[in-house]
């Protein structure tokens, strides 16, 4: 033995010799057994949960490195306690955003133009981009502090993910320790599984199921296999799965690894991470497209799934200036591969009613595999689409699926149409509640909308249940344990008919008004539905977890609250705009009610919000004009507390101030000026009013400058503005 056993716990797993490893496994087995006895036998734990997890994690890693040294009394072969019912949540220091998509060469060229326009760069100025394969796996954030991996978290909703640290440590591509790394370094990348490993895993699962005389539960594709393997409550299962990791991005860092995207990737490589070998630095759109074609040609032989190529502006100072819009960075885009197509038979057309009353025709298809996924349904969009493509029941149709896009009917193979096939008649009444279905007139264009909508509102069960599904969705309240199936079941039984009912479940259960404990236990404690959509299985623990998940959402961000209401035309982006401009839900509510009068100051203030137009404003006004909607919101507010929107930069002198830009700006583009002002916590408006704090006026300022002077609004030159915000 090279070291005394008492010092072995200080040696990284990768540096242990076989003799050291055997001694360390013996020590860990004894220490973990003692901790188990103290915790379970004496109900008097001697170490913290974190210390206990660290011991088991180290034991697992050593066994993975030295499988022949695994002991008969190995802790990994025992279950000291029932696995946690859910993962610990982990808030990202820097949000993990998704990417905007490009589907053809023109979209890529347009992306390049947007970047140049935003930054004010000439068309002939060279702008470099990196281009890399878009891995079809599971995104992961690795946080290192002083070179030690302290946390690994999934993307989750972009703000909060699942803590899977112990599982991530079992992946060979993820270093436990880094040399010469910044004090804080968050490395981001993709966990994936190769085609060969995926096939071997499903073969092993089939063999194990046969030995146990059970039906095998196989993974549909490598992406699902990677995600399912990483999100195991038992890290030993994750360790047995052949997962890999490519690094391609970062979150919080205390010290930059370079001045360009390319330099940072090379820095990752030096630290011991794998970066994709097909990543390339390109100096033009032509080079980007050429590399895209090269990667697409190699796609079938790579041995792992990719679904496109990601382009990123190379210079990090450009990335910082470009910033973000909604859920996407302005400096990156995913160029997806062409949609995969297949031919099948359209067996029926059904009409679905969404939360805003929209009637959407859905094609029920004879199941067919497209891009590794079995497709049985496809969208037909609206009545005009059906008419334009002349889609009829019984037709042979070509369908396509591109990335995460919903499958759609591309065209009809008219040569195979059966005689007597009738044209589809789009309904004039809602198929669920029987109310009239109409094409509403757009308040901006004055023309009828292409979509037909049910006029039943909340008396329509379909709209009510879809609004509830939206309410609990990931980007809204995101309630742990309450998904679409549970909502549909509880709505059918009239247990939940409006959002406020969700937050009175525990109270009604304790008062005996409802009984959610009456269903027999089945499988893993989730609520399962029979063919009629009724719950047939749950257990007491899952219901208690549900109550806890609901209570955890009694305080929620104002933007999430507004988005959850399901107001037409108000999604995540507009909800954030309303939250940041009004500050809290109460002010937004009050403004929405007062804005019913279009000549009112409240209406003009709403329209002045940069990014909010008449169509969105009308959707808000219509929602709060309904007595039943206001009553439902009031009941909800009695149960939950929306948190006041936080200003992005509270130390800035313009935080919370309202700013208007006019004239020609000389040091930055108008778009960049607005984005930077918002990043400093300012509210950007499109019009001058008495509530405006600053007007930033460049050359050519006209009526806005005069109005600002008349109202006594502080007018700044571009130079004065730059000095103020630093």
Q: pLDDT per residue over 624-671, tens digit each?
A: 988 888 999 999 999 999 998 765 556 678 888 889 998 888 888 888
CA angle 581, 583, 586 (to 5 degrees): 115
Distances in whole angstroms, Cα of residue 323 to Cα of each of 253, 314, 316, 673 = 17, 14, 10, 11
Name the residue among 222, 214, 150 with its Cα closest to residue 185.
150
pLDDT at 210 over 90: no
d(CA 581, CA 686) in angstroms, rounded, equals: 13
Please state the separation of Cα 426 from the chain's center in Å: 34
What pLDDT shows up at residue 617?
93
Mean pLDDT of 274-278: 97
pLDDT in tens, 519-575: 433 344 444 444 444 554 445 677 888 899 899 999 999 999 999 999 988 988 899
Helix (H) or strand (E) holding 607: helix 601-608
Look-up of token digits 């020590």: 27
Catalytic residue numbers?
Answer: 134
> What is the C-alpha separation between 145 and 185, in angstroms, rounded?
7
Average pLDDT of the residues in 141-150: 94
Rg (CA), the chain: 29
Say whether pLDDT at 388 is over 50. Answer: yes
512 pLDDT tier (thresholds 50, 70, 90): confident
Of how many residues is the chain composed? 726
**What's the rounded Cα separation, in Å, for the pair 201 and 242?**
8
DSSP-based three-state secondary structure for 465: helix
pLDDT-above-90 percentage for the chain: 46
- Specify the pLDDT at position 530: 43
Predicted confidence at residue 636, as pLDDT, reads: 96
Average pLDDT on 326-336 reads 89
Tokens 């344990």 -> residue? 481
Over 50: is that where the pLDDT of 43 sits?
Answer: no
Burial class (CB in 10 A: 0-12, 13-18, 19+), 261: buried
SS3 56: helix
| pLDDT level of residue 284 (50, 70, 90 thresholds) | very high
* pLDDT tops 90 at residue 397: yes
pLDDT in the model for residue 523: 41
* Per-residue model confidence as pLDDT tens digits over 63-117: 877 888 888 778 765 543 333 335 788 889 998 988 888 988 999 999 999 999 9
Q: Which two tokens stand for residue 713?
A: 């609004």
pLDDT of residue 80: 38
Q: Judge whether residue 127 has pLDDT over 80.
A: yes
- Cβ atoms within 10 Å, residue 242: 16
CA-nearest of 192, 169, 144 to 60 is: 169
- Retrieve residue 668's tokens: 């930055």
The pTM of the full predicted model, rounded to 2 decimals, is 0.68
pLDDT band at 721 (very low <50, low <70, confident <90, very high): confident
Strands 373-379 and 340-353: unpaired
Would the pLDDT of 270 be above 90?
yes
Contacts of 410 (CB under 8 A, 6+ apart): 341, 397, 398, 399, 400
In the chain, the N- to C-terminal Cα span, in Å, equals 60
> How far apart (Å, rounded) are the C-alpha atoms in residues 523 and 481?
15
What pLDDT score does 520 carry? 38
pLDDT for the residue numbered 585: 95
Domains of the chain: 5-77 (1.10.287.610), 105-336 (3.30.470.30), 353-361+372-455 (2.40.50.140), 458-553 (1.10.150.20), 556-643 (1.10.150.20), 658-725 (3.40.50.10190)
pLDDT per position as a tens digit, 289-325: 999 999 999 998 999 999 899 999 999 999 999 998 7
Give backbone dihedrals phi and psi of 46, rounded to 5 degrees, phi first: -100, -15
Residue 41 or residue 194, greater confidence: 194
3-state DSSP of 123-149:
CCCCCCEEEEEEECCEEEEEEEECCEE
How would residue 149 be classed by pLDDT, with cut points 50, 70 and 90? Answer: very high
Residue 396: phi, psi to the nearest 5? -85, 125
CA 621, 622, 626: angle at the middle one, nearest 5?
110
pLDDT at 666: 81
Q: How confident is the model at residue 53 (pLDDT cuts 50, 70, 90)?
A: low
Q: Which pLDDT value is given to residue 402? A: 63
Query: What pLDDT was estimated at residue 355?
Result: 87
């Amino acid at each position: 033995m090279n070291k005394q056993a008492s010092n072995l716990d200080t040696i990284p797993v990768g540096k242990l010799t076989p003799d050291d490893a055997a001694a360390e496994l013996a020590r860990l087995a004894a220490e973990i057994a003692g901790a188990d006895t103290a915790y379970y036998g004496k109900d008097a734990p001697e170490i913290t949960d974190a210390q206990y997890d660290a011991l088991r994690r180290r034991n697992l890693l050593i066994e993975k490195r030295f499988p022949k040294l695994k002991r008969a009394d190995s802790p990994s072969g025992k279950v000291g306690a029932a696995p946690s019912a859910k993962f610990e949540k982990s808030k990202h220091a820097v949000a993990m955003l998704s990417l905007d998509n490009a589907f053809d060469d023109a979209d890529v060229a347009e992306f390049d133009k947007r970047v140049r326009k935003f930054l004010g760069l000439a068309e002939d100025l060279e702008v470099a981009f990196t281009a890399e394969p878009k891995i079809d796996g599971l995104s992961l954030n690795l946080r290192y502090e002083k070179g030690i991996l302290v946390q690994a978290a999934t993307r989750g909703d972009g703000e909060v993910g699942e803590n899977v640290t112990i599982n991530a440590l079992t992946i060979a591509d993820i270093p436990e320790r880094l040399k010469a790394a910044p004090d804080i370094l968050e490395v981001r990348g993709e966990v994936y599984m190769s085609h060969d490993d995926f096939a071997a895993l499903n073969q092993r699962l089939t063999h194990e199921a046969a030995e146990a005389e059970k039906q095998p539960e196989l993974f549909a594709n490598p992406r699902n296999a990677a995600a399912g393997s990483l999100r195991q409550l038992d890290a030993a299962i994750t360790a047995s799965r052949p997962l890999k990791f490519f690094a391609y991005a970062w979150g919080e860092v205390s010290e930059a690894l370079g001045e360009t995207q390319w330099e940072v990737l090379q820095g990752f490589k030096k630290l011991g991470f794998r970066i994709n070998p097909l990543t390339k630095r390109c100096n033009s759109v032509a080079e980007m497209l050429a590399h895209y074609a090269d990667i697409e040609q190699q796609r079938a032989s790579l041995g792992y799934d990719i679904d496109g190529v990601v382009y990123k502006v190379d210079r990090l100072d450009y990335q910082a200036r470009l910033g973000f819009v909604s859920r996407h960075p302005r400096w990156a885009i995913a160029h997806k591969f062409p949609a995969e197509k297949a031919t099948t038979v359209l067996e029926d057309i059904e009409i679905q009613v969404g939360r805003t009353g929209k009637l959407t025709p859905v094609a029920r298809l004879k199941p067919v595999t497209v891009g590794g996924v079995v497709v049985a349904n496809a969208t037909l969009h609206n009545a005009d689409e059906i008419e334009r493509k002349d889609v009829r029941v019984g037709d042979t149709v070509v369908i396509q699926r591109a990335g995460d896009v919903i499958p759609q009917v591309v065209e009809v193979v008219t040569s195979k149409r059966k005689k007597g096939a009738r044209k589809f008649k789009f309904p004039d009444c809602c198929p669920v509640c029987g109310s009239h279905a109409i094409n509403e007139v757009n308040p901006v264009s004055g023309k009828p909308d292409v979509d037909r909508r049910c006029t039943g509102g909340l008396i329509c069960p379909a709209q009510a249940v879809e609004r509830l599904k939206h309410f609990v969705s990931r980007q809204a309240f995101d309630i742990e344990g309450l998904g679409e199936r549970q909502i549909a079941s509880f709505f059918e039984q009239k247990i939940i008919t409006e959002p406020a009912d969700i937050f009175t479940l525990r109270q009604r259960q304790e008062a005996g008004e409802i009984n959610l404990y009456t269903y027999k236990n089945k499988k893993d404690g989730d609520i399962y539905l029979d063919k009629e959509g009724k719950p047939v299985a749950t257990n007491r623990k899952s219901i208690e977890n549900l109550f806890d998940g609901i209570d955890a959402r009694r305080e929620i961000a104002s933007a999430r609250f507004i988005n959850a209401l399901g107001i037409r035309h108000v999604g995540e982006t507009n909800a954030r705009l309303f939250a940041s401009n009004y500050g809290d839900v109460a002010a937004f509510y009050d403004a929405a009610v007062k804005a019913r009068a279009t000549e009112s100051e409240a209406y003009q203030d709403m329209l002045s919000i940069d990014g909010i137009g008449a169509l969105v404003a009308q959707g808000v006004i219509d929602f709060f004009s309904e007595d039943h909607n206001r009553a439902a919101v009031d009941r909800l507010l009695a149960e939950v507390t929306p948190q006041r929107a936080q200003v992005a930069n509270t130390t800035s002198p313009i935080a919370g101030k309202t700013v208007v830009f006019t004239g020609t700006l000389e040091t930055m583009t108008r778009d960049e000026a607005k984005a930077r002002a918002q990043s400093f916590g300012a509210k950007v408006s499109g019009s001058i009013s008495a509530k405006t704090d600053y007007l930033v006026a460049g050359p050519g300022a006209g009526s806005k400058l005069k109005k600002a002077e008349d109202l006594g609004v502080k007018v700044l030159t571009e130079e004065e503005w730059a000095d103020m915000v630093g």
